[in-house]
Amino acid sequence: MYAWCDRVNIQLSFITLAFNSEAFLAKCFDSIISKCQEEDISFEIIVIDNGSKDGSLNIINTYAEKYPDTFKTILLTKNRGTPYTRNLGFKKAEGRYICILDSDTEILNGSLKEVTDILETNEEIGILAPRLLLPNGSVQNSVKKFPTFWQKISKIPRVIFKIGLPDVDFYEDFPFKNRRVVESAISACWFIRKDLLSLTGVFDEKIFYAPEDLDYCLRLRAVDKRIEYFPSVTILHHTQQISHKNPFSKVAISHFLGLLYYYRKHGGWFSARYINEEKKKISNMVFLTFLIFSLVMLGFKIMGSALWFKLMFWVSALFILFVTFGYPIIMYILSSLKKHEDDISNIEPMVSLIIAAHNEESVIKRKLENSLKLDYPREKLEIIVASDGSTDRTNEIVASFKGKGIKLFSYERMGKTGAQNETIKQAKGEIIVFSDANSMYGENAIRNLVRRFGDNNVGCVCGQLVYVDVRSQVGSAEDAYWNYEKKLKEWESRVSSLIGANGAIYALRKDLYVEIDRDLISDLVEPLEIIKRGKKVIYEPEAISVEPSSLLFKDEFLRKVRILTRSINGIIYMRSLFNPFRYGVFAFQIMIHKLSRYLVPFFLITGLISLPFLTQESFYFIVCSFIMVFLVFALIGRLFENNIKRFKLFNFCYYYIVVNYALILAWIKVIRRQKFPIWSPNR
């Protein structure tokens, strides 16, 4: 038993991987033993042989026999790769600190106790990476920026033909004499705390040889741990470079495959600094879109024919035309063939009107006065304001109506859906009506909503939203679009069910309410949940709510991005409704009216891309000219949006561009998992 080998309290575990390392092993082991004896550090050496075919096993066995209390050996019969074998070492390690040390290294100088002291007192440090010297005495460039896929591709000629671009993933003019934070460091020598493994996990065994070090460094960054270059300790590195000896060897090929896996995993095709899930997904989407588009364009070029561009154009055009016009025509025909039988009853159940409000001091008084004038028995109408973290006079104004039976439920900021979830638990009504603070109801709105619940198959009823101020910049275009939507609602309601409702005015049976995630849009997802339960969602055009349209395109654009992002998330969340075998024609409705419509801007882009290659034919030239005129009109609408209120065509063209641009941004936010649980009204 050696004094410096205390099995009860091992300070430092060295994990060394050997593969045909006969020329280096003895020097590596001797340097560890000598340095730890010198500093009186309790240590162990865990050696994993990866199926060596040279004399490595003899050296390992010799040292294991000489130092039985210090050496632990794991002898594999074949090469299992770097991550797998190092993970075996992690499992056996008993030290508080771990040194991952390549077998072709030697510890030259510096204090290992200083290393362990730094790790002990600086929990934000994930890795200390010492200075590496090459056999010729020069400093090895061992610290790197996270490289992109394209940077790695540029190095292939260097590896195969010894030519190519410089290694742009390395730092330029790095100050190797100074300690500093780096993005990553090669794993020839790392010092880490063992307890860090419980936070980050071990090496990813889906990587065979490399870049397991880049992968681990990225995961450290994701948990806010840093990698530090530490020149006070110097390691001699003989750099076996197994993969560089033969660029077509099994190890070299596995290295390349490991890189592909690494970039797919972390989304670093264009920037490997994407270390979280949302950025990874958008990067992968950009890469795949770029790759597919490049392959398609290459195919067009190889074919040397306009046929492919025609195919792209017609697929795009037919998709847009079907979603915009074909689907409404189908719904109209189907609704006309179906008998229109409205089951209307003069029932008067207990109703709770829940008004969502956040900083609504400018409209809340008028809304409450409007609610008190509704034609419905007052003793059967519970009026509740769900104040979502209001910081203005909203709560004060609502409180002044307490004597008239108005209830105020005030919450910390949680978003509209969250406030509704909490309020409905306290609501007394059999029927719940949801409203916005700026939505003024027609006198018979509640009664007209409620009368449709005489049919037990009806679970939700959506009223009609009417926009005022249609002479505003956005109003006329929004009004035209909304009239189109209302017709669709009417036809869809007759055919099967509505796809969602309108948050300004809709009602449902309380016992069918499902508490949904705060990030989801309640007036879409809640009705869809009711459909999943086998009940209908119908449209009642005589239950009218009036609210002003947006006055500015800027306000409408921001509103659209927010609503569309939440709507796309909601449709994805309720994707089980896409099953036609279970939901019949409704599955067709939701896929076309919602999902396909949300994809229209991407087909607009592909259609536009194809047109310049087809303009030699008169038909496509006319189409291209028409689109150019449309874009010019939209530009006029944009440049003169404050002045051209009477020229509806310009506003409509601009509105169409705004909505589709908002859709593209909404998809990007969905892919990045950016959500809008809270809202701020533009009032």
In the structure, what pLDDT confidence band is assigned to residue 302 with cuts at 50, 70 and 90? low
Judged against a pLDDT cut of 70, whether residue 283 lies above it is answered with no
Task: Calculate helix-pair angle for 553-573, 648-671, nearest 10 degrees.
Answer: 40
Per-residue pLDDT averaged across 515-539, rounded? Answer: 90
How high is the pLDDT of residue 486?
85
In the structure, what pLDDT confidence band is assigned to residue 154 with cuts at 50, 70 and 90? low
Judged against a pLDDT cut of 70, whether residue 252 lies above it is answered with no
pLDDT digits (tens, 9 = 90+) for 181-191: 998 898 899 99
State both tokens at 668.
Answer: 């990007």
How high is the pLDDT of residue 675?
64
Q: Measured between alpha carbons, how far is 83 from 205 in angstroms, rounded to an integer?
A: 5
Q: Measured between alpha carbons, how far is 75 from 78 in angstroms, rounded to an integer?
A: 9
Per-residue pLDDT averaged across 129-155, rounded? Answer: 79
By mean pLDDT, which of 198-207, 498-507, 636-645 is the weakest? 636-645
Kindly report the CA angle at 60 between 203 and 35, in degrees rounded to 5?
A: 80
Q: What is the H or E stretch that residue 48 is in?
A: strand 43-50
In the structure, what pLDDT confidence band is assigned to residue 304 with cuts at 50, 70 and 90? low
Q: What's the CA dihedral at 388, 389, 390, 391 to 10 degrees? A: -170
Q: Measured between alpha carbons, how far is 523 from 527 in angstroms, rounded to an integer?
A: 7
Q: Measured between alpha carbons, how far is 95 from 220 in angstroms, rounded to an integer?
A: 20
Count Cα neighbours of 249 within 13 Å in the Cβ-side half-sphere.
12
Per-residue pLDDT averaged across 414-430, rounded? Answer: 91
DSSP track, 128-139: EEEEEE-TTSPB
How high is the pLDDT of residue 198?
87
Sign of CA dihedral 523, 524, 526, 528: positive
Query: DSSP 3-state assignment of 14?
Result: strand
Cis ω on the peptide bond leading into residue 157 (within 30° of 0)? no
Other C-beta atoms within 10 Å of 531: how many? Answer: 22
The more confidently predicted of residues 97 and 617 is 97
Per-residue pLDDT averaged across 567-577, rounded? Answer: 90
By mean pLDDT, which of 216-230, 461-475, 476-490 is the weakest? 461-475
Judged against a pLDDT cut of 70, whether residue 251 lies above it is answered with no
Phi, psi (5° rounding) for residue 356? -80, 135
CA 437 to each of CA 98, 430, 627, 659: distance values in angstroms, whole numbers, following the listed order: 61, 22, 40, 25
Per-residue pLDDT averaged across 456-475, rounded? Answer: 77
CB-based burial label for 649 (10 Å; 0-12, 13-18, 19+)? middle
Judged against a pLDDT cut of 50, whether residue 360 lies above it is answered with yes
Sign of CA dihedral 561, 563, 565, 571: negative
How high is the pLDDT of residue 3?
38
How high is the pLDDT of residue 520?
85
What percent of the chain is predicted at pLDDT more than 70? 81
Q: Which residues of 17-46 are buried (b: 16+ CB within 10 A; e: fewer)?
A: bbbbbbebbebbbebbbebbeebebbbbbb
Phi, psi (5° rounding) for residue 267? 70, 40
CA 371 to each of CA 114, 384, 394, 418, 506: distance values in angstroms, whole numbers, following the listed order: 73, 10, 16, 23, 15
State both tokens at 207.
Answer: 């990587």
State both tokens at 376.
Answer: 């419905």
How high is the pLDDT of residue 41?
92
How high is the pLDDT of residue 210?
76
Sign of CA dihedral 106, 109, 112, 118: negative
How high is the pLDDT of residue 160?
47
Q: CB within 8 A of 403, min separation 6: which ones?
A: none
The more confidently predicted of residues 282 and 619 is 619
In the structure, what pLDDT confidence band is assigned to residue 43 with cuts at 50, 70 and 90? very high
By mean pLDDT, which of 222-226, 272-276, 661-665 is the weakest? 272-276
In the structure, what pLDDT confidence band is assigned to residue 25 with cuts at 50, 70 and 90? very high
By mean pLDDT, which of 239-248, 453-462, 567-576 is the weakest? 239-248
Q: Measured between alpha carbons, how far is 22 from 16 in angstroms, rounded to an integer?
A: 13
How high is the pLDDT of residue 344?
78
Other C-beta atoms within 10 Å of 401: how many? Answer: 19
Judged against a pLDDT cut of 80, whether residue 271 lies above it is answered with no
Sign of CA dihedral 170, 172, 173, 175: negative
Q: Which of 674, 639, 656 is nearest to 562 (CA)?
A: 674
Per-residue pLDDT averaged across 541-566, rounded? Answer: 80
Domains, the chain:
12-266 (3.90.550.10), 340-578 (3.90.550.10)
Q: Which of 517, 513, 628 is nearest to 574 (CA)?
A: 517
Q: Using the structure block, give the residue that is written with the tokens 């609504």.
A: 360
Q: CB within 8 A of 497, min separation 6: which ones?
A: 527, 531, 536, 537, 538, 586, 589
Length reported for the chain: 683
Q: Which of 186, 247, 239 is nearest to 217 (CA)?
A: 186
Q: Measured between alpha carbons, how far is 620 from 626 in angstroms, rounded to an integer?
A: 10
The more confidently predicted of residues 251 and 37 is 37
In the structure, what pLDDT confidence band is assigned to residue 292 with cuts at 50, 70 and 90? low
Q: Measured between alpha carbons, how far is 8 from 207 in angstroms, rounded to an integer?
A: 34
Per-residue pLDDT averaged across 147-161, rounded? Answer: 56
By mean pLDDT, which of 42-56, 574-588, 637-651 is the weakest? 637-651
User: How far out from the chain centre does Cα 499 lie?
Assistant: 25
CA 78 to each of CA 50, 255, 389, 393, 605: distance values in angstroms, whole numbers, following the listed order: 6, 17, 63, 74, 53
Residues 549/472, Cβ–Cβ less than 8 Å: yes
Q: What is the H or E stretch that residue 396 is in?
A: helix 394-399
Per-residue pLDDT averaged across 470-493, rounded? Answer: 74
Q: Using the structure block, give the residue that is written with the tokens 């049919």.
A: 455
Q: Measured between alpha carbons, how far is 426 from 421 in angstroms, rounded to an integer?
A: 10
Q: Which of 169, 228, 219 is nearest to 198 (CA)?
A: 219
By mean pLDDT, which of 67-71, 101-105, 162-166, 332-336 is the weakest? 162-166
Q: Are strands 431-436 and 351-357 parallel, antiparallel or unpaired?
A: parallel
In the structure, what pLDDT confidence band is assigned to residue 156 with cuts at 50, 70 and 90? low
CA 492 to each of CA 125, 338, 581: distance values in angstroms, whole numbers, following the listed order: 59, 11, 19
Q: Which of 337, 336, 367, 342 is nearest to 354 (CA)?
A: 367
pLDDT digits (tens, 9 = 90+) for 306-358: 777 888 899 999 999 999 999 999 999 998 887 766 677 888 999 999 999 99
Per-residue pLDDT averaged across 452-480, rounded? Answer: 77
Average pLDDT over the chain reads: 83
Q: Measured between alpha carbons, how far is 19 from 316 in angstroms, rounded to an integer?
A: 56
Per-residue pLDDT averaged across 21-29, rounded? Answer: 93
Per-residue pLDDT averaged across 144-169, rounded? Answer: 56
How high is the pLDDT of residue 261?
77
Judged against a pLDDT cut of 70, whether residue 368 lies above it is answered with yes
Residues 249/128, Cβ–Cβ less than 8 Å: no
In the structure, what pLDDT confidence band is assigned to residue 451 with cuts at 50, 70 and 90? very high
How high is the pLDDT of residue 162?
46
How high is the pLDDT of residue 469?
62
Q: What's the CA dihedral at 562, 565, 567, 572 to 10 degrees? A: -160
How high is the pLDDT of residue 2?
37
How high is the pLDDT of residue 66?
92
Q: What's the CA dihedral at 148, 150, 156, 157 to 10 degrees? A: -130
Per-residue pLDDT averaged across 559-577, rounded? Answer: 88
How high is the pLDDT of residue 272?
47
DSSP track, 145-158: PPPPHHHHHTTHHH
Q: Which of 446, 594, 562, 558 is nearest to 507 (CA)?
A: 446
State both tokens at 550.
Answer: 């947006």
Per-residue pLDDT averaged across 498-510, rounded? Answer: 91
Per-residue pLDDT averaged across 6-21, rounded? Answer: 84
In the structure, what pLDDT confidence band is assigned to residue 1 with cuts at 50, 70 and 90? very low
Phi, psi (5° rounding) for residue 81? 90, 170
Q: Measured between alpha carbons, how far is 446 from 382 in angstroms, rounded to an integer?
A: 12
Other C-beta atoms within 10 Å of 482: how many? Answer: 17
Fill in the amino acid letter for 569: N
The more confidently predicted of residues 282 and 257 is 257
DSSP track, 587-648: HHHIIIIIIIHHTHHHHHHHHHHHGGGTTTSHHHHHHHHHHHHHHHHHHHHHHTTTT-SS-H
